[in-house]
Structure 1
Amino acid sequence: MSSERNIDILKHIVDYCNEIFHTQTYFGDSFEVFKSNSIYRNAVAMCILQIGELSGNLTDDFKESYGGVPWRNIKGMRNIMAHKYGDINATIVWEAVNEDIPQLREYCSDILDKYRVLEQAAVEDEGDEEPEI
């Protein structure tokens, strides 16, 4: 069951990463626009906050097995977004949007792809079993 929960969480994380990408596409890939447009910053900040919240719900075993991203730092960024929003450095958030979020999306997508392959193999194995008489 916890495996299913982790997979569900990863799907949501990828969705929020995609939402950040779509927001950036909508507003443009300009730091100056990001810095000056509170709607742009708030949309991105909400997605980062949600990603951090979700990452905190992954099981410890999962985070240990898949340590290719800094889960603890992701949760830490969420805490900063939630509790010290007025103190957030736009440059740091912009760097996260352009460097960390694409890496996180790719990493989580790779895990999901592997899971789908394993899930499909299990379904195929079930189909190979002889029916009991």
Structure 2
Amino acid sequence: MSKVPKSPLFFLYHIKESIEAIAIHIQEGKQSFLTNRTVTMAVIRELEIIGEAVNKLPAEFKNNYPLVPWRDIGDFRNVLAHHYWGIDLETVWNIIHNPDKLPDLNNHVKTCIQDLENHSSENPE
């Protein structure tokens, strides 16, 4: 039985949900993120989900959005998943707060979702 490939929308929604979850996890601020293991691990897990979802997006799709650092996001997921002992929490905090990082990805993902939803409503199958 062969698997049916999932639409990029499937993965984009997972990215969007993980970004939203990170925002909830860090509501208590930087100190809570740095000192509360539950918060830290929840954020790291959400970042891993984002990276894994990015890695599952088709190359043709990612090529349509060259301003998004898809490869960097996937590479960061690998660091989080395989080199957890070397994770610098200050770096993670900067990634989730730097406007050019996670907030920027959030904007790009919303654009991608909107583009795909508009395209599918224009071309019903």
Tell me which interval the TM-score lies in, with the shorter structure as reference length.
0.7 to 0.9
In structure 1, what is the equivalent of residue 11 of structure 2?
9
Q: Provide the rounded CA distance (Å) in 2 between the counterparts of 1:45 and 1:24.
A: 11
The answer to whether 1:116 aligns with 2:117 is: yes
Q: Look up the equivalent residue of 1:8 and give its one-letter code.
A: F
Larger radius of gyration: 1
Counting matched residue pairs gives 120
Higher relative contact order (CA 8 A, sep 6+): 1
Percent sequence identity is 26
Displacement of 1:93 in angstroms is: 0.2
Displacement of 1:121 in angstroms is: 2.9
Superposition pairs of residues 1-133 of structure 1, within 5 angstroms: 5-25=7-27, 28-29=28-29, 31-99=30-98, 100-123=101-124
Whose helix proportion is higher, 1 or 2?
1
TM-score (norm 2): 0.86
Unaligned runs of 5+ in 1: 127-133
Displacement of 1:81 in angstroms is: 0.6
TM-score (norm 1): 0.82
User: What SS does the aligned partner of 1:56 have?
Assistant: helix
Cα RMSD for the two superposed structures: 1.8
Q: Provide the rounded CA distance (Å) in 2 between the counterparts of 1:13 and 1:58.
A: 11
Unaligned runs of 5+ in 2: none
